[in-house]
């Protein structure tokens, strides 16, 4: 068929959308994204790139959303803020977030409009980093959840909990069915363990006792099958879970640090969105004349 489809490049003004968002577990996250005000949105895809093989965060086409295409963990939790997408608002609300929702969210919009008798298809992309931060006061115990499907105590797994800013030392290195104190950072001695050493259902959550403000940071959980070589496993691989922990001083203690952390948490990067517009070369010569009437699609 002689379709004249032009991928038209026009700088799009996206209302200043957040590129980073921090929320606490149990809250709702508003993932902002706007398409153009005046074009028909034919397709809206919200995805998390690292989960995209298992489905979308939210998928909308032909005036409706498709739950079948959604990743299991997002079913029933995501909806458009404005179901009419007025003014190109394709923001979605993600309900009841948990730490495993931390990650990059991508909004991709495809629009269709007609210009001088030609169908104009455009694509827009915007991404947001969502961080679900656990907030706790000093002196308490906290559980940092992590689940490694297909792992249990029989699978001789090596579990690594680490914090990038601590360099080579682990928060907890668990192997041979017990914690290995040798490579552990001194500040975690006798304060950490697996919540369940049986690792039932792949539960490799970390329990961290008597937290202090110095425990604030980004924790990473990795799991490996044990190999014969007793070498340090590879911290370069992507973690299963990344958890942001914010420890506020105990009541009555100076709030200076908490204030700073809160200020940093509120710091929002307001910037124009990264927009990638696909530019397709003009179609090759048509095998038969294409008749285009003004304002009518020539397909
Ligand atoms: C929120 O999610 C947690 C699991 O992350 C679940 O246990 C809880 O029931 C959910 N709450 C609501 C109100 O859906
Ligand atoms: C979002 O997260 C990705 C992956 O962790 C990172 O590469 C990127 O720089 C982050 N973007 C912002 C705006 O923080
Ligand atoms: C974190 O918790 C402390 C008290 O535990 C509270 O004062 C502070 O406002 C909380 N911060 C955020 C960002 O929720």
CATH number of residue 220's parent domain: 2.60.40.10
Q: Are residues 119 and 59 in the same domain?
A: yes
**Is the CB of 253 inside a 6 Å radius of any atom of ligand 3?**
no
Pocket of ligand 2 (CB under 6 A): 19-20, 104, 129, 269
Tell me, yes or no, whether 286 lies in a domain.
no
Tell me, yes or no, whether 263 lies in a domain.
no
Question: Atom of ligand 1 at shortest distance to CA of 26?
Answer: 1
Separation CA 34–CA 179 (nearest Å): 48
User: How close is the Cα of 129 to the center of ligand 2, in Å?
Assistant: 6
Q: Which of 233, 251, 269 represents a domain boundary (last residue)?
A: 251
Q: Are residues 81 and 155 in the same domain?
A: no
**Is the CB of 178 inside a 6 Å radius of any atom of ligand 1?**
no
**Whose C-alpha lies nearest to ligand 2, atom 13?**
19
Q: Are residues 39 and 153 in the same domain?
A: no
Domain holding 120, by residue range, is 7-133
Given ligand 3 and candidates 140, 248, 254, which is best to mutate, with the most ligand atoms within 8 Å of its CB? 248
Tell me, yes or no, whether 291 lies in a domain.
no
Q: Which long-range contacts (CB under 8 A, 24 or more apart) does 59-67 make?
A: 60/90
User: How close is the Cα of 24 to the center of ligand 1, in Å?
Assistant: 13
Tell me, yes or no, whether 91 lies in a domain.
yes
Q: Are residues 181 and 245 in the same domain?
A: yes
pTM above 0.75, yes or no: no
Q: Are residues 210 and 118 in the same domain?
A: no
Tell me, yes or no, whether 296 lies in a domain.
no
**Is the CB of 96 inside a 6 Å radius of any atom of ligand 1?**
yes
Nearest Cα residue to 191 out of 133, 247, 132 = 247
Tell me, yes or no, whether 175 lies in a domain.
yes
Q: Which of 92, 114, 133 represents a domain boundary (last residue)?
A: 133
Total structural domains within the chain: 2
Tell me, yes or no, whether 278 lies in a domain.
no
User: How close is the Cα of 91 to the center of ligand 2, in Å?
Assistant: 19
Query: Partners of 192 in the beta sheet?
Result: 208
**pLDDT tens track, the chain, 299 positions:** 334 454 544 434 454 567 899 999 999 999 999 998 888 999 999 999 988 888 999 999 988 999 999 999 999 999 999 999 999 999 999 999 999 899 999 999 999 988 888 988 999 999 999 999 999 999 999 999 999 877 776 777 889 999 989 988 999 999 888 898 888 999 999 999 999 988 888 999 999 999 999 999 999 999 987 665 544 555 567 788 899 999 999 865 444 444 443 333 333 322 233 333 333 333 333 333 333 333 333 33
User: How close is the Cα of 99 to the center of ligand 1, in Å?
Assistant: 12
What pLDDT does residue 38 have?
84
Angle at the Cα of 24 from the Cα atoms of 18 and 26, rounded to 5 degrees: 115
Tell me, yes or no, whether 285 lies in a domain.
no
User: How close is the Cα of 134 to the center of ligand 3, in Å?
Assistant: 10
**Is the CB of 98 inside a 6 Å radius of any atom of ligand 1?**
yes
Q: Are residues 121 and 169 in the same domain?
A: no
Q: Which of 71, 101, 133 represents a domain boundary (last residue)?
A: 133
Q: Are residues 15 and 121 in the same domain?
A: yes
Q: Which ligand is nearest the CA of 97, by number?
A: 1
């Amino acid at each position: 068929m002689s379709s004249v489809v032009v991928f038209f490049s026009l700088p799009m003004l996206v209302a200043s959308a957040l590129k980073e968002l921090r929320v606490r577990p149990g809250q709702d996250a508003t993932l902002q994204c706007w398409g153009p005000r005046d074009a028909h949105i034919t397709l809206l895809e919200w995805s998390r790139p690292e989960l995209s093989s298992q489905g979308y965060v939210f998928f909308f086409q032909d005036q409706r959303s498709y739950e079948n295409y959604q990743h299991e963990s997002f079913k029933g939790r995501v909806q458009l803020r404005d179901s009419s997408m007025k003014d190109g608002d394709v923001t979605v609300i993600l309900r009841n977030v948990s730490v495993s929702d931390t990650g990059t969210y991508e909004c991709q919009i495809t629009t269709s409009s007609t210009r001088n008798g030609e169908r104009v298809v455009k694509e827009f992309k915007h991404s947001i980093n969502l961080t679900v931060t656990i907030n706790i006061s000093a002196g308490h115990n906290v559980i940092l959840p992590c689940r490694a499907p297909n792992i249990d105590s029989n699978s001789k797994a090596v579990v690594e909990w680490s914090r990038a800013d601590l360099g080579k030392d682990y928060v907890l290195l668990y192997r041979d069915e017990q914690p290995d104190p040798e490579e552990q950072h001194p500040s975690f001695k006798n304060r950490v363990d697996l919540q369940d050493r049986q690792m039932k259902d792949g539960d490799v959550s970390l329990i961290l006792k008597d937290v202090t403000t110095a425990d604030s940071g980004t924790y990473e959980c990795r799991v490996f099958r044990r190999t014969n070589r007793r070498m340090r496993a590879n911290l370069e691989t992507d973690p299963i879970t990344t958890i942001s922990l914010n420890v506020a001083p105990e009541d009555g203690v100076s709030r200076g640090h908490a204030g700073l952390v809160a200020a940093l948490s509120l710091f929002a990067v307001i910037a124009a969105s990264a927009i990638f517009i696909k530019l397709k070369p003009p179609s090759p010569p048509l095998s038969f004349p294409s008749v285009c009437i003004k304002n009518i699609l020539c397909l």
